[in-house]
Amino acid sequence: TWTTASIVDEQVAAIREQVGGRRAICGLSGGVDSAVAAALVHKAIGTQLTCVYVDHGLMRKGETEQVEKDFVAATGVQLRVVDAADRFLSALAGASDPEQKRKIIGREFIRVFEQAQAELVAEAGAAGEDVAFLVQGTLYPDVVESGGGTGAANIKSHHNVGGLPEDLDFELVEPLRKLFKDEVRMVGQELGLPEEIVQRQPFPGPGLGIRIIGEVTRERLDLLREADAIAREELTAAGLDRDIWQCPVVLLADIRSVGVQGDGRTYGHPVVLRPVSSEDAMTADWSRLPYDVLARISTRITNEVAGVNRVALDITSKPPGTIEWE
């Protein structure tokens, strides 16, 4: 549309003017905001931008590949992927308290990102160039909310790529500062980003790490990743993606219950489906998903995911429940 195209033109001009001949770095999270911000900045300054994606090993099935392959193919950005899964898992070993897990993930993320940033600056320095800018996908509601400091931020310590501490040496580039989420999606579409990225539902920065109730281990992550992929597949197949805000799948890793499968007794873990409808995530209602869709998800998860023998449905609104369990 005219409006979307003009937003792109306006921002491209503004970014060129701000960055000039220098270089910028952008952290990609796999989410819509950082992807669109990066695509806009890339359109403006091309190879002067380098993107960094920290793979914390807590992403859902296929999401890292989506960034590495599809996003790069669609935009042509220079991308560095830092495989930090081992480091995050070691740091998380023994931690089962929600806030402790959030803090560990946030802390490790900043360390890994800063290291990648320092390497880039060192390399560029040798080439006599100046990495002076940090791109962030801050949206208009973020700008407003951080002024207030009330609400969800006080309930859970949020981690996201947009929340990196501002390094004093870097000037921020925030091309989405005046936009709302739906406008960001339209800009992403205008820039030719893949549908799966542009229409992606919200996913928390700490990833599956806060959807495993209990300690985070590689085996538990693998299990949850499979269950989550099945739920997503079935919701998409049923055409429900646009009807729900998101549907976390939560693994109750410290709880086991008795089941029966074939001729045998099982003693496995439950997963909880948490489909919610919401306008802005501040409040939410549990989604009345069709029974046949719920049935398919339940049958498939218990058949296909070894170790999970029970599927439960969370029917709590927010408040009193938050959307995520941790």
Q: What is the DSSP string of 192-249?
A: T--HHHHTPPP--TTGGGGSEES---HHHHHHHHHHHHHHHHHHHHTT-TTT-SB--E
144 known member of a binding site: no
Report CA-CA distances (Å) from 112 to 60, 102, 159, 204, 212: 20, 16, 14, 18, 23
CB-nearer residue toward ligand XMP: 64 or 246 = 246
Residue list 118-157, contact with ligand XMP (CB under 6 A):
152, 156
Burial of 259 (0-12, 13-18, 19+ CB in 10 A): middle
30 annotated ligand binder: yes
181 interacts with ligand XMP by CB under 6 A:
no
**Residue 96 assigned as binding residue:** no
90 labeled part of a ligand binding site: no
Name which position in 22, 103, 158, 256 contacts ligand XMP (CB under 6 A).
Answer: 158
| DSSP letter (8 states) at residue 173 | E
Q: Which of residues 244-263 bind ligand XMP (CB under 6 A)?
A: 246
String of contacts with ligand XMP for each residue 201-220, x by CB under 6 A? -x-xxx--------------
List 81, 82, 281, 313, residue binding ligand XMP (CB under 6 A): 281
Alpha-carbon separation of residue 34 from 260, 277, 295 (angstroms): 45, 24, 35
Whole-number minimum distance, CB 204 to ligand XMP, in Å?
3
Buried b (16+ CB within 10 A) or exposed e, 191-221: bebbeebbebeebbbbbbbbbbbbebeeebb
Looking at 55, 108, 234, 324, which residue binds ligand XMP (CB under 6 A)? 324
Asked whether position 318 contacts ligand XMP by CB under 6 A, the answer is yes
**Residues in contact with ligand XMP by the rule CB under 6 A:** 152, 156, 158-160, 202, 204-206, 246, 281, 318, 322-324
Which parts are annotated binding residues for ATP?
29-35
Which parts are annotated binding residues?
29-35
